[in-house]
Structures are given as structure tokens and as C-alpha cells.
Amino acid sequence: MLEVLEEKKQKKSTAKDFATDQDIRWCPGCGDYSILKQVQSVMPELGIPKEDIVFVSGIGCSSRFPYYMNTYGMHSIHGRATAIASGLKASRPELSVWIITGDGDSLAIGGNHFIHLLRRNFDVNILLFNNQIYGLTKGQYSPTSEVGKKTKSTPVGSLDHPFNPLALSLGADSTFIARALDREPKHLKEILLRAERHKGTSLVEIYQNCNIFNDGAFNSFTDKTNKKENSLYLEQGKPLIFGADQDKGIVLDGFQAKIVSLNDGHTSLDDLWIHDEKDRNKANILVRFFDDNAGDANALPRPFGVFYQEDRSVYEDGLKEQLKQEVELKGAPDLNKLLGGGNTWKKKNTGKS
């Protein structure tokens, strides 16, 4: 018996150990399949028992995710996965908690919960599947849909200026922000590993193709013929270089990013912007590359990778220390006294009937 237990203990888990027997109910060709596969392949590399991993989702196509992960999980409330995951992490800080959400779930009805989780900095991982559309409810425009987007709810084109998820996250003081693509699985896996290893709230925006209601939304960054001209992959300590022949770079002119040619005879690698994940000022400029139209000859490339990370105390550690100090100072709390409070109103007896 002891030998069997020891064998099980030593056996290394695989991606198959994190797959369930549930039928996957996404449309054939959906980008969610790729994301699911990479998450399942990453789990064994974390070295965390699957009993200590939890996936919490809200409402949307992506929110079916917990059904397909052989871990603990919860398909929760629209926009409130962040709140539920916060409570879980506060009460069980030893767990590895993953939040699965979409652009509609997290940036519309769940917007307030989203930004407050980021500023509180619980040690959780947020995977934001961004397909720029409401897929589950059959094709209405979402908070990340581009201006002019024609959908069932905007038949003559959306007038809304879209959210820039990473700019929003940086503004909410997120301690880790990154972007990846469903169709670049190797890079996505690297980002997932980086996110889990970060101590604090990790926000990973994943461009995810909805082939039914918004097919090709990210073709500029996935099509083999032009993706290298439109995509910029960030590497710590490396110059910002892109292009089919890796012959273009980014320089900073004050606070303005500009594209330069490495074949112009004047620009060398030493002149280029060197990526620094700890530099918040540069991260603020990088996230704004988003505002340029992909495909435009003068447009800045869309960055992918880790934009910014910082070390900051996490909420659950502060909560634990605060409770410890209160017990040491005042002793074990009295629940009845806490519920009763100190301000109670009593009717004054005047002696009159």
C-alpha cells in the first residue's frame, strides 16, 4: 500500500490529467479551444496539486472554462467572478486561483469589480478573453468593439469609443499586465507561466477569435502574410524590433514612439527603445500603441508580451497580518458582540401609556 502511494506521489502529471470528461460546447473553430489546451498544458509545470487549483468564471462563452478543467471551479455570476475569487483567495490564500472572463463580462457589467481587484492586488490570475463581441448572446457589440462596428445591436455602426483593456488595467494600478494571442500557442504558454509566477494580480488579455460573430477581428496579427509587420513581441532587456525581416525598430522622441528603419544607414540597435518591464512611464506609452489602426502604413505595431510588472504587497497577506494583530491585541473576537455593534437604539421609557 505504501509503495502504491509513493508511486502516485512521484508520478508527474500531464495535460490529460487536467482534462475532464465533459463535452466541450464551443463552436468548431473557436479560439477558446487553443486557450484551453495551453492552460491544460501549463498546469503540470506549475507543480501545484490539481486539488489546490481553482478556476472561477462569470458568464459568457469563455465562462464554460471551469467545466473543462479537472480542478475545483465555479461558473459564477455575470461580471462577479472577480468578487467571488477575491473572497476565495482571502479565506484560502494557499490556493492557486484563476479567473476566466470575457470582454463583455469583465469590462461591462463587471467593470467596477475588475478595476478594484486590480488595485487590491490579490494573488490571482485573470485571463481576459477578448473577441470584441458578445458571442454567447449572438453577436451584439461589446465594450472593446471598434467604432463603426455593425452588429445586431448597432446595425448602422457603433458610436462607442472602445475600452483599451491594458490601459485601463495600468490606470487601476495592476501589478502585472500582458497580452497574448489564441493563435500563437507557444507564446501564450510562456505568458501563462509568467502570470502564475507573479506574486499579485496578473492580468493577461488574450485576443480570441470568434469565428461565428466576429471572424478575423485579429487577422492583422495572425495572418502569415502580414502579422510580422503589425506585431511587436516584447522581451525584457531587448530592443523593440519588428517587421518581416526584423528591419524595423521603435525609438522614443520625448514621449512619442516612432518607427525607424534599421537599413537607413543612420539607426543602429543601440538607438532603439530597450524594453523594461519595470518602467511604468514606458508601459503607459506601450499600451497606447493600441490606438493606431492596424494595417495603416504609419501605424505602430500592436505589442504582445509582458508590458509591466511590479512587486507590491498582496491583499490576503495584509489581511492575515491585520487579523493576527487584532487577536494579539484584543484576544479572540466575540461574534455576538461584533454583530450587535456599539450603536443600538432603545426606546426611552417616558412612563406614559
- pLDDT (tens digit per residue) in 153-199: 999 999 999 999 999 999 999 999 999 999 999 999 999 999 999 99
CA distance linking residue 103 with residue 223, whole number of Å: 23
Quote the percentage of the chain above a pLDDT of 90: 83
Which pLDDT score, from 0 to 100, does residue 342 have?
A: 72
pLDDT digits (tens, 9 = 90+) for 269-307: 999 999 999 999 999 999 999 875 555 667 899 999 999
pLDDT greater than 90 at residue 34: yes
Confidence of residue 347 (pLDDT cuts 50, 70, 90): confident
Which pLDDT score, from 0 to 100, does residue 290 have?
A: 82
CATH of domain 28-238+278-315: 3.40.50.970
pLDDT greater than 90 at residue 6: no
Q: How far is CA 233 from the centre of its chain?
A: 17
3-class SS of residue 257: strand
Q: Which three cell numbers stand for residue 173?
A: 494600478
Domain spans of the chain, in order of start = 28-238+278-315, 239-274
**pTM (two decimals):** 0.91
CA distance linking residue 72 with residue 59, whole number of Å: 17
How large is the average pLDDT for residues 78-87?
Answer: 97
How large is the average pLDDT for residues 114-143?
Answer: 97
Amino acid code (one letter) for 182: D
Which pLDDT score, from 0 to 100, does residue 330 have?
A: 84
Question: Are the beta carbons of 75 and 221 closer than 8 angstroms?
Answer: no
Which pLDDT score, from 0 to 100, does residue 296 have?
A: 64
Confidence of residue 3 (pLDDT cuts 50, 70, 90): low
Question: Are the beta carbons of 66 and 57 closer than 8 angstroms?
Answer: yes
